[in-house]
Amino acid sequence: MTLLVFGGALLGAMALGIPIAFALLASGVALMWHLDLFNTQILAQNLVGGADSFPLLAVPFFMLAGEVMNVGGLSRRIVNLALALVGHVKGGLGYVAIMAGCLLSALSGSAVADAAALTALLLPMMAQAGHDKVRASGLIASIGVIGPVIPPSIGLVIFGVAGNVSISKLFLAAIVPGLLIGGALWITWAWLVRREAIVPPPRKPMSEVARTAREATWALLLPVIILVGLRMGVFTPTEAGVVAAVYALFVATVVYRELKPSQLYGVFVSSAKTSAVVMFLIAAAMVSAWLITVANLPAAVVDLLRPFLDSPILLMFAIMVLVILVGTAMDMTPTILILTPVLMPVVQAAGIDPVYFGVMFIINNSIGLVTPPVGTVLNVVAGVARMRMDEVTRGVLPFMVAEFAIMFVMVAFPALVTVPARWLAG
């Protein structure tokens, strides 16, 4: 009955069109009434305490870093480098998008920011070169999935806080899976583009490759600084967010000089607005998370999934299917905040490594960003490209299938994630 009250209140509020943060608060209040615990002071304390977390400070700083990179020219230089390296091969612009997406993911950690930047920079070039615009938009949308996987990742930060899992270990464990997703997209694009009558541009001279590499060096140093700093214990993930923001501001204003002082206010306001939305969503979800614990809902879910506890791989398959279904109707952040406190006790009871589970959970939620009808990245690409939503959805389908395929391969063979994670973590 408790699960029915919580789920019914949440889904009912969402069906009425109430924003997800307020829907979470409504479901929390309904659960408090059901448990005879309603108290406005407790509600306010949990709401304020939900956002009062040192690790969550990484979210606004990484968002600021991503905004600065897009405005300050770092993202464009990454794309130019990829163009110089592989733009001359058949379907090269697609490979450029994949390479640039992986590199941008290591800078911002935001699927929406990466998808918007790649759509604005590369989709017109791909259409002009003769590529099917629907297929090209689908590729770019699917590349946005890599953003929340390759560190620094805002999704991993939120999961680490909600699940009490080391964010540094999550960052290091997500590197190889993110690259595997990029490899799956590379192979899929190569298969789809083989019959397109595209005449690739001539190979760039080495002098131009060297020039673009030199221009992109400052941008490429950022992920190296972050990952080496985390690996060596120089700073925490939260401090890494500060380093990323300060470094991006320095490069954009002093080195590249594309971010003017007059633009700083707009950049700060834009990142603050986005951060405020995410942080309020987290605060609202923490109210529900506390009530979920008080109502002992995780124990009910453990009992429900008990037949799968003896087979961790089968349990992971069942959880991944559940998350896929939820991802079609709910955005990434609320899914993480709602399901993490429910699923973590199940995962721990089955003896599954929480870091491995966290990486797979975030990968699944990231793919949910391109699953219709609520796929956020689909909406972003369609808006920036001025295309219909159904066109982008049709284009993304083969790439989405490839991403789900590589995800289930990692579920069947956990060593693909755990072995590199242990090696990188030392």
Quick: pLDDT tens for 195-250.
777 767 778 888 888 898 888 888 888 888 887 887 777 878 788 888 888 998 99
Is residue 5 included in any domain, yes or no? Answer: no
Is residue 338 included in any domain, yes or no? Answer: yes
Residue 174's pLDDT band, with cuts at 50, 70 and 90, is very high
Q: Rounded CA gap, 365 and 354, in Å? A: 16
Residue 73: domain span: 39-425
Q: Which of 205-214, 338-347, 372-381 has the lowest mean pLDDT?
A: 372-381
Quick: pLDDT tens for 8-31.
777 787 777 777 778 878 877 887
Return the H-helix or E-strand segment holding 375: none
Q: Which of 55-59, 81-85, 106-110, 261-265 has the lowest mean pLDDT?
A: 106-110
Q: Domain total for the chain?
A: 1
| Chain-centroid distance, C-alpha 44 | 29
**In the predicted structure, residue 184 carries a pLDDT above the cut 90:** yes
The number of C-alpha atoms within 13 Å of 236 and in the hemisphere containing its C-beta is 12
Is residue 164 included in any domain, yes or no? Answer: yes
Which one-letter amino acid corresponds to residue 426?
Answer: G
**In the predicted structure, residue 341 carries a pLDDT above the cut 70:** yes
Query: Token pair for residue 169?
Result: 């270990």
Is residue 287 included in any domain, yes or no? Answer: yes
What pLDDT was estimated at residue 374? 63
Is residue 152 included in any domain, yes or no? Answer: yes
Query: Do residues 313 and 411 make contact, with C-beta atoms less than 8 angstroms apart?
Result: yes
In terms of phi and psi (left: phi > 0; alpha: psi -120 to 50; beta: otherwise), the region of 198 is beta
Is residue 8 included in any domain, yes or no? Answer: no
Question: Between vectors from CA 363 to CA 361 and to CA 364, what angle results, nearest 5°?
Answer: 65
Average pLDDT score, the chain: 83
Q: Which of 221-230, 291-300, 368-377 has the lowest mean pLDDT?
A: 291-300
**Of 156 and 325, the one with more pLDDT:** 156
Is residue 29 included in any domain, yes or no? Answer: no
Quick: pLDDT tens for 128-156.
878 888 999 999 999 988 888 988 788 89
Is residue 30 included in any domain, yes or no? Answer: no
Question: Between vectors from CA 370 to CA 3 and to CA 308, what angle results, nearest 5°?
Answer: 40
